[in-house]
């Protein structure tokens, strides 16, 4: 029997065509219309279509991401499903895929896919990308790899996937380690694994035992889907000579978490230190990241504003995770009721 793959269509460029009234591409194609143009996909797997939404990438909110994760988990309750594919706008695909990797706890593959060209263009890459994603989701070799991004015949871990170019088909790359494997015609080739982040458990009072039993029977283990996310988490980018005005504003306007994008190893201008200290003293978790596209944030340096001082002040170092993904993780942790010490431990364990 052919494997069964559920595809949740959410919109994005893969669903777009040029609209005569607006003069540009907008989401328009249903899942059925897209699948009808993917040659050979029904030979790979039996397809179940779920039309979840029809949104461009920038319209995907954290709350919608959480709703999507719940829908993906619901499909995994069906033991006959070999894997799930999610089509998504590439502008926010990184965040949504990463959130799924944090909260889903299932061995079967969940594969995110999109397109860089719309269906009105001769170079529409949607069908080829979707066919590759279905092939990966249907293949037992993809089990246990966590949530994946499959674009341009490359298989990338969601935790590592970064959009590196505004338009190029090969835009999605692994920021430090390269792809896990490739899709070569009719074969899925995996050449390395990845260290998956520790799942973020819910507080006991949020667990409903009945769904958990269904999940266990389906090969998934206790659900980690949070009841809600804490969306009041802000990213503040620092540059040469930046002061703390925006940090001060975030604190005064009710931010519950701050991601400070610093320089190099995560070092910050001295002029920003008083505001960072104020946020930490207000028991707001402050996570330091870097504007560099690769590498870790680390307490290497000891001068004023450097990592060692920030860590002594109580800031959390974000490791290899870029700012926008750190924000998602902080939303999940805060939404699940984690204390500041528990948040600090969660980041330390993933570094």
Residue 10, pLDDT score = 98
Residue of 10, 13, 87, 90 with catalytic role: 13
Q: Please write the tens of the pLDDT for every residue from 281-304.
A: 999 999 999 999 999 999 999 999
* Rounded CA separation 86/34 (Å): 13
pLDDT of 265 higher than 90: yes
* Mean pLDDT, all residues of the chain: 91
Stated pTM of the model: 0.91
Residue 1, pLDDT score = 85
pLDDT of 196 higher than 90: no
Residue 92, pLDDT score = 98
Q: Please write the tens of the pLDDT for every residue from 27-74.
A: 999 999 999 999 999 999 999 999 999 999 999 999 999 999 999 999
Residue 200, pLDDT score = 66
Residues carrying CATH 3.40.50.1170, the chain: 4-217
CATH of domain 233-350: 3.40.50.40
Q: Please write the tens of the pLDDT for every residue from 323-333.
A: 999 999 999 99
CATH class as words, domain 4-217: alpha beta
Beta bridge partners of 48: 6
Sheet holding 233-237, edge to edge: 233-237, 257-262, 286-290, 316-317
What Cα–Cα distance (Å) separates residue 290 from each residue in 10, 33, 276, 305, 324? 31, 42, 15, 13, 11
Sheet holding 154-157, edge to edge: 46-55, 4-11, 81-87, 110-113, 147-151, 154-157, 181-184, 187-190
- pLDDT above 90 covers a percentage of the chain that reads 84
What's the CA angle centered on 285, arms 270 and 326, to 5 degrees?
A: 90
Taking CB atoms within 8 Å and a gap of at least 24, the contacts of 175-182 are 175/293, 175/294, 175/320, 175/322, 176/294, 176/295, 176/320, 179/154, 179/155, 180/145, 180/148, 180/155, 180/156, 181/155, 182/153, 182/154, 182/155
Chain centroid to Cα 257, Å, comes to 18
Residues carrying CATH 3.40.50.40, the chain: 233-350
Residue 207, pLDDT score = 41
Residue 279, pLDDT score = 98
pLDDT of 269 higher than 90: yes
* Rounded CA separation 64/100 (Å): 12
pLDDT of 223 higher than 60: no
pLDDT of 209 higher than 80: no
**Average pLDDT of span 96-107:** 92
Specify whether 289 is catalytic. no
* Rounded CA separation 256/233 (Å): 6
């Amino acid at each position: 029997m052919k494997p069964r793959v559920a595809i949740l269509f959410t919109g994005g460029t893969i669903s777009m065509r040029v609209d005569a009234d607006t003069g540009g591409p907008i989401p328009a194609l249903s899942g059925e219309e897209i699948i009808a143009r993917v040659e050979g996909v029904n030979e790979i797997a039996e397809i179940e279509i779920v039309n979840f939404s029809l949104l461009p990438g920038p319209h995907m909110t954290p709350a919608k991401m959480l709703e999507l994760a719940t829908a993906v988990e619901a499909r995994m309750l069906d033991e006959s499903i070999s894997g799930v594919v999610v089509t998504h706008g590439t502008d926010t695909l990184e965040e949504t895929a990463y959130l799924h990797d944090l909260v889903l706890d299932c061995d079967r593959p969940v594969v995110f896919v999109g397109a860089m060209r719309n269906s009105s263009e001769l170079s529409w890459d949607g069908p080829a990308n979707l066919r590759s994603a279905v092939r990966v989701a249907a293949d037992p070799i993809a089990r246990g790899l966590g949530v994946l991004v499959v674009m341009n015949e490359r298989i990338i871990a969601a935790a590592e996937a970064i959009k590196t170019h505004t338009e190029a088909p090969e835009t999605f790359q692994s920021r430090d380690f390269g792809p896990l494997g490739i899709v070569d015609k009719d074969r899925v080739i995996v050449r390395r694994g990845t260290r998956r982040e520790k799942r973020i458990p819910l507080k006991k009072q949020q667990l409903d035992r009945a769904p958990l039993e269904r999940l266990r029977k389906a090969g998934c283990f206790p659900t980690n889907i949070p009841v809600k996310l804490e969306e009041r988490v802000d990213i503040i980018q620092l540059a040469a000579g930046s002061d703390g005005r925006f940090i001060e504003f975030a604190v005064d306007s009710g931010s519950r978490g701050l991601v400070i994008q610093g320089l190099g190893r995560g070092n910050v201008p001295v002029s920003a230190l008083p505001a960072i200290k104020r946020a930490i003293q207000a028991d707001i978790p402050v996570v330091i990241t870097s504007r560099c596209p690769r590498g870790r944030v680390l307490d290497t340096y000891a001068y004023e504003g450097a990592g060692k001082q920030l860590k002594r002040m109580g800031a959390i170092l974000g490791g290899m995770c870029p700012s926008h993904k750190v924000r998602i993780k902080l939303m999940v942790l805060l939404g699940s009721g984690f204390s500041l010490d528990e948040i600090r431990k969660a980041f330390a364990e993933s570094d």
